[in-house]
Structure 1
Amino acid sequence: MEQVLASPLSGGYTSQGSTVDQISIDMASLERLYRYVDSIYIDEVDKEKMFNDLATALVASLDDPYSFYVPPSEAKQYQEETVGVYGGIGTYLNKPVPENKDPGDPSTYMITIVSPFPGSPAQRAGLRAGDLISHIEGEAVDELTSYEASMLLRGEPNTTVTITVYRNGTSFDITLVREMITTPTVDSGVLEGDIGYIILYEFTPQTGKQLLEHVKKLMEEDIVGLIIDERNNGGGAVDGTMQAANIFLEEGKTLVTIQGKKGTKRDQRYISSGDPEVPLDLPIVILTNKGSASSAEIFAAAMKDNNRATLIGTKTFGKGVVQDVFQFGDGFAQVTTAHYYTPNGENIHKKGIEPDILVEDVELSEEEIPLFEALMTENVLSSYVQKYPEPTDEHIRAFAEQYKERGINEEILLLLIRNEYLSKMPYEDRPIADPIFDRQLRRAIEFIRNGS
């Protein structure tokens, strides 16, 4: 005869003649608590809300910034994010769960901009990888999850959102106009007549196919080298990364090793297959920065460790974990399920990948931040472009010359006004890259030309 403790609030139960695992014990206890509360609570219990809150709390208890539960009320927005079309400011974000807040470390309770999308409102306003957002519309983000914060930044196109940016110990407000954001994938072109250039915005299950089309098109141009731009690529689907690496690596090369929880049999070593689509002696450069994360790092490491590409730029973000996404009820759950290791056996989580050739990003100094804030508040960029609508080098350099007296680095002014001009162009008319004002790209071209 089974003996069960009678109290509806007891922490567990014992069963004679059987062994019950801890999850079963905990779930039985939680069910008794749920039924007891439902029977005595003064008002009717909203069972749908109760279910979603329980699921949210369960995943949040992992204390993992990349694991979360999406309730049915937010499932549509989540699917839009997966598809990649929505109204917003155009950024990849990361935020630790509120329970991990450390008052002495702003990155534990503010939103980290992993990367802004090229040409997005966020990028044109000068936001960059590593910036922190402390407030949205004047409200602190401390208690928000990453998903909740992302949803607050979204909205109908042509509406505004004001964010407070925390950078190098200084805060300033920026008001952005939301636009219809299409999450970019792959684009390409030819620089200086004979250097192929591919920009990988993110990795999706379709990236491999799309990338192959661009590679084949570039090979018809008799290019002497190839630059693959992964700067501000926040990652995405691991399968897309494997497909991309297969285009460049000969058969039998290790791409990445995935190691899951012991006993789950999720461990897997990915190996390149088939023949490469480009000659093995074609020089390849991959551009990286601290916005290059997750699957972008897997691709960069696969190419670097197999001596197929030279990395130029700055150290990558350092996200060496993999998530599974699955439907749960009418919502979704995303859970970290594995670590990944580079072909050389490195775990780059929270470390990043060092470039072969370091070329620093252009960054505002602490003294320049209030000067930059004033420039943005006064709407100087838009006014200048309205007065001088032609995006010539002369106009771009004239702007930098005119406003450098304010104390802002001339190179930053060149980038800001160039981005403003680009934002006013139809997307199909925008140049694929900017070898003149982009120092990291210039160094990559030099490497392709000289081999050093």
Structure 2
Amino acid sequence: MSPSVIMQRIAAMAVCLLISIPALAEITPTAEDAQASREVAQSIRFGHYEDINFDEAWSRKAFARMLEMMDPQHLYLLSTDIERFGDLRTGFNQAMEQGELERVYAFYGLFQSRLEQRLEWLIAQLEANPTFDYTGNERLAFEGEVSNWVDEFSELDPVWTKRMKNAALTQKLTEPNIDDAEINRRLVNRYRDQLNRVRQTNNEDVLSLFLGAATSSIDPHTEYMSPDQSESFDIQMRLSLEGIGAMLQSEDEYVKVAQLVPGGPAERSGQLHPADRIIAVGQGDSGDMTSVVSMRLDDVVKLIRGPKGSTVRLEVIPARALDVTQTRTVTITRDTVNLEDQAAKSDVIEVQRNGHTERVGVITVPAFYVDFDAWQAGQANYRSTTRDVAALIEKLKAQNVQGIVLDMRGNGGGALQEANSMVGLFIDRGPTVQVRDARGRINLYGDTDRGVAWDGPLTVLINRLSASASEIFAGAIQDYGRGLVLGSRSFGKGTVQTLSDLSHGELRMTRAKFYRISGESTQERGVEPDITFPTLFSDEEIGESALPNALPWDTVRPVNYRRYGNLDASLPTLRDQHAVRAAQNPNFRYLQREASLLKTLREQNTSVSLNLEQRRREMQAQEAEQLALENSRRQALGLETLASWTETLDDDDTATQSDSPINQAQLQESAEILLDYAQLTGQLRDTNVASTKAP
């Protein structure tokens, strides 16, 4: 299962997050709710990959997880509220197994009352004090402003005052000409809208919270889906959803882009990137935009979804921004995502060497797909990744390429059978992956067909968004010594889920784990490249290790397989040659320095000033550092320099844009490394291609 789907489902379970939880004074559990709870408990007990014991230790963990999902920053509930329902710490397991949900629903009702109380307080404060003083020395911490539960509601007032002031200050910095009256009007409307939304609940919201806490305390990919969520999941799996082609998830009060669907409108536009945060949505090319800060995820998805051909505007905080005021607005035309949009494609890179032009083929594989309907109908020419890649290999052979780069950056996985069969294009029979089930039984999958489609030099290019089936493929190529793996560490999604019907809703549950033929799991750690490229993706924000309660990395017994080459002997030389080129390549130097700068700034910047002028100075200092890096790169390439850092966001070069200069630099360097390897191993052929002098 691809991480795009994974993150979609994780997001669906997060509808309970923070202010996104609606009100519920009189909602009580139904017989359907109780039955769904019992069925989920039984299914997990007897079918989950891990041996789950619903004991007191698990109960405490699940209760803590529910608190984390309800109120992660300790901004609503009081210590007395939690103690009042302290019996759930040790009774969470009984509530789930027996379907005794009354106490859970009552606790949710108490939380709901605190939520409404706070929103009403915010509105009253804005109506009584419509302006703020931006001249003091206050700062607002990004995290940990309230380290523990407080005893009195009023103890949280100073924190909420600072949060409210920061929301106002953000608008003043983003729109310098806005007046205080307009800021006040917008904030009042925002909190009133939130209050209206939180008063529109039903028992499904509470059940999703409760079972979401239970399942995500076990692993991040096991989850209960209500009937509505199941329908959305089915739509996504059919790829017939009309929207922008982005998987979203909740994170604190924001909705964050988790993954872009390959070939989708957002990915094609190059304007939206993983880890971008969406703060407002507008319909059409003009008009008011609706703030989605603290809005429940399902409602944000509904705003973004729309008919094919229509446009949607998104105000986003870019992933590279270090302050919430560094926003930009992007416009995307909605469309459907079809199989053809995700199909593999090929290109040829020309590399100048020793006065000759060498050709290297590039095959981009956005996903592992198969036309299941055509396959099941017995059609001879059904579309699949393996079939398409095999045809592209023949095309590249006719173009006399020296080697092939398989570009699998951003490949979130897909059909396991395709990853397995595609390995067979490059090896002459052998195992490809091991799958261990909950009972400890290991099934071995492999290529049984004789012959190969390509036996020449090969490299596989991956990044942090390469996951699941793409990790299996890259791992097999690496284990066989069949080719080099380049780029950055992959996602680390090494588990298998199945979907089963319940009497009410569905359960997606982890049933097995992937292991490489070397015996190593791909879970959590992912695939480590042979030669690493710098990346702007943060492991703390993206990847399996960033998800709560991810299952750990482990090993099983390796299987017997043949090695095709001794890559280890060549790697020191290849890394040295790469390092020399990277040091001379402005794009690589920029990536290394930008990644280091972002890491340093994120570690240093744990709070923001609520003083208008101080905030501006801090922003300007940070932007100046980033702008200097970007302009250094541009000067080295002979490009026009930029006047402001904001322009770099409009000309973003992050690793999700296939045609960006940095992405192209990674492809070009992959081709260089491939030729280095071919030369070291005596595989560099005289192709008699029209040779030209290097300029």
Q: State TM-score, norm by structure 1.
A: 0.66
Conserved? CA contact 1:91–1:114, under 8 Å: yes
In 1, the alpha carbon distance for the partners of 2:474 and 2:294 equals 33
Distance 1:446 1:338, change over 3 A: same
CA drift of 1:228 comes to 0.7
User: Alignment partner of 1:196: what SS?
Assistant: strand
Match of 1:204 in 2: 369
In 1, the alpha carbon distance for the partners of 2:412 and 2:294 equals 21
CA drift of 1:322 comes to 1.7
Matched, 1:242 2:420: yes
Match of 2:672 in 1: 446
In 1, the alpha carbon distance for the partners of 2:248 and 2:469 equals 15
Match of 1:139 in 2: 292
In 2, the alpha carbon distance for the partners of 1:309 and 1:140 equals 46
CA drift of 1:61 comes to 1.9
Match of 1:170 in 2: 323
From 319, 323, 331, the counterpart of 2:497: 323
Match of 2:400 in 1: 222
CA drift of 1:201 comes to 0.9
In 2, the alpha carbon distance for the partners of 1:135 and 1:65 equals 27
From 483, 499, 503, the counterpart of 1:309: 483
User: Alignment partner of 1:213: what SS?
Assistant: helix
CA drift of 1:231 comes to 0.6
CA drift of 1:434 comes to 7.7
From 258, 261, 264, the counterpart of 1:113: 258
Whichever residue aligns with residue 491 of structure 2, its letter is F
CA drift of 1:152 comes to 5.2
In 2, the alpha carbon distance for the partners of 1:308 and 1:141 equals 49
Matched, 1:188 2:345: yes
Deviates more, 1:176-185 or 1:51-60: 51-60
User: Alignment partner of 2:99: what SS?
Assistant: helix
Q: More relative contact order in 1 or in 2 (CA 8 Å, sep 6+)?
A: 2
Match of 1:62 in 2: 215
In 2, the alpha carbon distance for the partners of 1:308 and 1:403 equals 43
Distance 1:29 1:80, change over 3 A: closer
From 520, 534, 537, the counterpart of 1:360: 534
Deviates more, 1:243-252 or 1:64-73: 64-73
Question: 1:99-158 CA distances to partner (integer Å, 9 max, x unpaired)?
Answer: xx7xxxx9xx853524463573356354334445577652235864xx776565432242
From 380, 386, 405, the counterpart of 2:643: 405
User: Alignment partner of 1:323: what SS?
Assistant: strand
From 279, 292, 311, the counterpart of 1:159: 311
From 441, 445, 449, the counterpart of 1:270: 445
Match of 1:258 in 2: 435
Conserved? CA contact 2:315–2:329, under 8 Å: yes
Conserved? CA contact 2:623–2:645, under 8 Å: no
In 2, the alpha carbon distance for the partners of 1:357 and 1:333 equals 40
In 1, the alpha carbon distance for the partners of 2:476 and 2:234 equals 30
Q: Note the 1:76-115 alignment, pairs <5 A.
A: 76-93=231-248, 111-115=256-260
Larger Rg: 2
Question: 1:153-197 CA distances to partner (integer Å, 9 max, x unpaired)?
Answer: 432242314243363543334333242142543322231474222
Unmatched runs of 5 consecutive residues or more in structure 1: 1-8, 12-20, 38-48, 375-395, 420-431
Q: Which has the higher strand share?
A: 1
User: Alignment partner of 1:85: what SS?
Assistant: coil
In 2, the alpha carbon distance for the partners of 1:438 and 1:33 equals 57
In 2, the alpha carbon distance for the partners of 1:294 and 1:151 equals 28
Conserved? CA contact 1:319–1:352, under 8 Å: yes
Question: 1:356-390 CA distances to partner (integer Å, 9 max, x unpaired)?
Answer: 1222247666579969xx9xxxxxxxxxxxxxxxx
Distance 1:160 1:360, change over 3 A: same
Conserved? CA contact 2:279–2:314, under 8 Å: no
In 1, the alpha carbon distance for the partners of 2:329 and 2:417 equals 37
In 2, the alpha carbon distance for the partners of 1:151 and 1:318 equals 30
CA drift of 1:289 comes to 1.0
RMSD: 4.6
Question: Size of the alignment, in residue pairs?
Answer: 370
CA drift of 1:223 comes to 2.7
Match of 2:10 in 1: none
Whichever residue aligns with residue 436 of structure 2, its letter is Q
In 1, the alpha carbon distance for the partners of 2:97 and 2:410 equals 46
Distance 1:311 1:134, change over 3 A: farther
Distance 1:437 1:410, change over 3 A: farther
Deviates more, 1:113-122 or 1:215-224: 113-122
Conserved? CA contact 2:242–2:336, under 8 Å: yes
Distance 1:408 1:191, change over 3 A: farther
Deviates more, 1:228-237 or 1:158-167: 158-167
In 1, the alpha carbon distance for the partners of 2:264 and 2:659 equals 11
Matched, 1:336 2:510: yes
Deviates more, 1:297-306 or 1:235-244: 235-244
Conserved? CA contact 1:199–1:229, under 8 Å: yes
Distance 1:409 1:29, change over 3 A: closer
Deviates more, 1:330-339 or 1:284-293: 330-339
Unmatched runs of 5 consecutive residues or more in structure 2: 1-30, 35-45, 47-52, 55-93, 107-201, 282-289, 351-358, 371-383, 536-586, 599-618, 628-633, 681-695
Whichever residue aligns with residue 243 of structure 2, its letter is G
Matched, 1:30 2:99: yes
Match of 2:525 in 1: 351
Conserved? CA contact 1:400–1:414, under 8 Å: no
Whichever residue aligns with residue 272 of structure 2, its letter is L
Match of 2:140 in 1: none
Question: 1:387-415 CA distances to partner (integer Å, 9 max, x unpaired)?
Answer: xxxxxxxxx99x99445233479899485
User: Alignment partner of 1:170: what SS?
Assistant: coil
CA drift of 1:313 comes to 1.6
CA drift of 1:318 comes to 1.7
Distance 1:30 1:126, change over 3 A: same
User: Alignment partner of 2:364: what SS?
Assistant: strand
User: Alignment partner of 1:303: what SS?
Assistant: helix
User: Alignment partner of 1:404: what SS?
Assistant: coil
In 1, the alpha carbon distance for the partners of 2:425 and 2:231 equals 34
Question: 1:34-79 CA distances to partner (integer Å, 9 max, x unpaired)?
Answer: 9xx9xxxxxxxxxxx7689757854652104323344444545433
